[in-house]
Structure 1
Amino acid sequence: MPEPLKNIFSPPLLEPFSDLVQKVWPPFAPDDFLQKVFDDQYEKLELKQRTRHIAHCLRACLPEDYRTALGIVQAVTQRYIDQHGEKLTFQWIFLPEFIEAHGVHDLDASLPAIETITRWSSCEFTVRPFLLAHPERMYAQMLAWSKHPSAMVRRLSSEGIRPRLPWGMGVPALKRDPAPILPILENLKHDPAETVRRSVANNLNDIAKEHPDLVLDIAKRWLGLHPDTDWIVRHACRGLLKNGNARALAYFGFEKGVADVAVEGLQFSPSVNIGGRFDFSFLLINRAAIPQSLRLEYQIDYQTLSGKTSQKVFKIKEVELAPGQEMGIERYQRFQDFTTRKHYPGEHALRILVNGLALAEGKFMVK
């Protein structure tokens, strides 16, 4: 059983941190801070609760004036950056939490601190309440950050303004109208940092949920500019490809509804236990007189707690089959519970998709 992620927020992490805070601001009392953090309720707290709790305890041990306290947090962060360089360090996420929890009221002080702290622990979640409270000011700031010399700050300009940031606070206005995001992505599409380009692709994938044609228009303009933008476009269109969008398929050389392609001999486990492995196999056949470019996926209809089904598509591979060629495919899907997916017993469905269309399917039981 893997160690729960929440357990990284432990004395071995926070003891040296509290010593550094005291070096930056001598009145800080490490023992008082650690006692507040590791109280008799701490073991019951989950991941998000722990990081917010640490941020609150830190606030309680620093000067009452927010700007003075924030200056200490910013100086501590700068010490880490000077010593170790810029990083995406998850274990220090309570530093961005400090601003998220206590600084939305003071934009002028918080924005420079965000610019520093995101170079050590990403502030993508921190900026979400700022976007809700100060949209126009934040849109301008995010655009300015897209031209920042630090790749970590440039990444924040895209990641923080995603319409559907996973585990992040929603920003409904950006779902309705992503116009403020587009100039940022234009600035970043040729970014030298892979982490920045990946964020651009994920942002476009988010936008495509509500505005597929807008993303496809951008994809058309960006395709062929450079191998990096080609990668961004393909990754950005992954949701559209999984949904069988004909225009997206065509951009990458796939024709929706290909003729003379068959999926035969679909075999799969009749049942699988929660925590077990579901195996399946099939034969892919090109009966056409010409080669066929094929995108293979499988879809599973999962049972949900409410009794409805939730569909999830998984990519298998992209292949080109010669005339008359056959290809055997074997795959499996684990039914292990995770924090992001919980399985429920009942009838499930499996479908084999070729260029977005189901060519074979069957049902199985999860126990």
Structure 2
Amino acid sequence: MSELRKQIFGDSFFRPLITHLTDAYPKFDGERFLSLVQDTDWEERELKQRVRHVSGVLRKTLPDSYEEAIEVLMEIAPLGSGLAYITFPDFVEVYGQEHWDVSIRALERFTPYSTSEFAVRPFIERDQPRMMAQMLKWASHSNEHVRRLASEGCRPRLPWAMALRELKRNPEPILPILELLKEDDSLYVRKSVANNINDITKDHPALVRQLSTAWIGRHPHTDWIIRHGARTLLKRGDEEMLQLFGYKGHLPVHVEELELSADKLLLGERLRFQFNIVNESIESEKLRIEYGVEYVKANGSRSLKKFQLSDKLYLPGRTKVTREQEFRDLSTRKHHAGEHIVSVWVNGERKQEAAFMLELD
């Protein structure tokens, strides 16, 4: 997580928090709280470490009784919102697992103001049947944030979170929750349902194919969820999923004249490329056009990353397509020198490729 994001824990967060805590719990010692938070290691801590550290300091400065401490946090929860307030559900995650009922009530209370998606996961690991029954109740909640928690919290592979081992192995307990949410009016909720389905595709693609076939065509919201949730399978060129969304295979369509703007590229520069889509059919065809980049890895091998370029009807004849791709280091990707391959894909089929050399300096 970025250096910038950890700076959310500044005076703009701590000063109002201390005021709210003191109003709700007059014995709260704000100066002691701040001195304990901003200890000698504070500047070195990353975002998640800061969250956990603040939770620990709250435990030292709120009432000794967990139930009393959590009531204070629940009272002030509506007075602040944003990522920094994830410390409240983190407090529950760390100190509340032996206090099930009050902790579940607190997680529901906190999630509209930050998110409890990470904090629910140890509860799922601890007692999956009990917690998944709670998530199913949340899926019918009137608040979209709580409904989203029902889906997001049980994603088998939620980024930045612990994996849910049993749900990776068998995601069946998730399906009743997704079923309740598959036509949800909130895009915020629908995105979570789609991301949950996409997680499931990593381990159980056949289940997602079955689910998608059963759901398709019932409601526009559901169709959007399926399409977004199946994005990994579509990128893999899964024939069954491509056909489900109306993409035909083995069409009289090919790619010509793939041209790169450079044979050699320096890290930080942009590569421009163009090509022609040639539709030899007598009618328009629905085409999913993607391009791939085979990035050189540290060991010299290459790893393919695909990017969607267009998804539409292409008229008979030739259509020129152009695109640029920047090559710079990211938190999620470090580049290595060597021959990279650019490829063009049509409805899951690799049609043409070209190579260039990436140099670091």
**What TM-score does the superposition give when structure 1 sets the normalisation length?**
0.93
Residue 90 of structure 1: aligned partner: 83
279, 283, 293: which one aligns with 2:272: 279
268, 293, 297: which one aligns with 1:300: 293
One-letter amino acid of the structure 1 residue matched with residue 295 of structure 2 = Y
One-letter amino acid of the structure 2 residue matched with residue 346 of structure 1 = G
Residue 67 of structure 1: aligned partner: 67
One-letter amino acid of the structure 2 residue matched with residue 314 of structure 1 = F
Structure 2 unaligned segments of length 5 or more: list them: none
Does structure 1 residue 33 correspond to structure 2 residue 33? yes
Shift of 1:212: 1.5
Residue 97 of structure 2: aligned partner: 104
Query: What does the per-residue CA deviation read over 1:158-178, in whole Å, with 9 as the maximum and x for residues that have no partner?
Result: 000011111111011111111
Does structure 1 residue 120 correspond to structure 2 residue 113? yes
Residue 233 of structure 2: aligned partner: 240
Shift of 1:92: 1.5
Residue 332 of structure 2: aligned partner: 340
**Partners of 1:264 and 1:283 within 8 A in 2:** yes
Give the Cα–Cα distance (whole angstroms) in 2 for the partners of residues 168 and 256 of structure 1: 38
**Partners of 2:253 and 2:277 within 8 A in 1:** no
> Matched residue of 2:68: which SS?
helix
**Partners of 2:260 and 2:274 within 8 A in 1:** yes
Does structure 1 residue 230 correspond to structure 2 residue 230? no
Mean CA deviation greater in 93-102 or 237-246:
93-102
**Partners of 1:299 and 1:311 within 8 A in 2:** yes
**Partners of 2:255 and 2:275 within 8 A in 1:** no
289, 297, 309: which one aligns with 1:316: 309
Query: What does the per-residue CA deviation read over 1:326-364, in whole Å, with 9 as the maximum and x for residues that have no partner?
Result: 111111222222222222222222111111111111222
Shift of 1:45: 1.3
Give the Cα–Cα distance (whole angstroms) in 2 for the partners of residues 274 and 209 of structure 1: 31
**Partners of 1:100 and 1:127 within 8 A in 2:** yes
Shift of 1:11: 1.6
Give the Cα–Cα distance (whole angstroms) in 1 for the partners of residues 212 and 206 of structure 2: 10
Give the 5 Å matches for 1:243-254. 243-254=236-247
Query: What does the per-residue CA deviation read over 1:297-324, in whole Å, with 9 as the maximum and x for residues that have no partner?
Result: 011122233444332110000132222x
Does structure 1 residue 218 correspond to structure 2 residue 211? yes
Residue 170 of structure 1: aligned partner: 163
**Partners of 1:262 and 1:287 within 8 A in 2:** no
Give the Cα–Cα distance (whole angstroms) in 1 for the partners of residues 71 and 250 of structure 2: 60
Aligned residues with identical type, % of pairs? 40
Superposition RMSD in Å: 1.7
Q: Cα distance 1:365–1:105, how it changes in 2: closer, same or farther (>3 A)?
A: farther
Give the Cα–Cα distance (whole angstroms) in 1 for the partners of residues 259 and 347 of structure 2: 17
Q: Cα distance 1:194–1:260, how it changes in 2: closer, same or farther (>3 A)?
A: closer
Residue 181 of structure 1: aligned partner: 174
Shift of 1:79: 4.0
One-letter amino acid of the structure 1 residue matched with residue 347 of structure 2 = N
Residue 7 of structure 2: aligned partner: 7
Give the Cα–Cα distance (whole angstroms) in 1 for the partners of residues 339 and 53 of structure 2: 42
> Matched residue of 1:119: which SS?
coil
**Partners of 1:266 and 1:360 within 8 A in 2:** no
> Matched residue of 1:290: which SS?
coil
**Partners of 2:135 and 2:150 within 8 A in 1:** yes
Shift of 1:226: 1.6
**Partners of 1:349 and 1:361 within 8 A in 2:** yes
Residue 156 of structure 1: aligned partner: 149
Count of aligned pairs between the two proteins? 358
> Matched residue of 1:181: which SS?
helix
Shift of 1:3: 7.0
**Partners of 1:290 and 1:322 within 8 A in 2:** yes
**Partners of 1:15 and 1:34 within 8 A in 2:** no
One-letter amino acid of the structure 1 residue matched with residue 41 of structure 2 = Q
Residue 77 of structure 1: aligned partner: 77
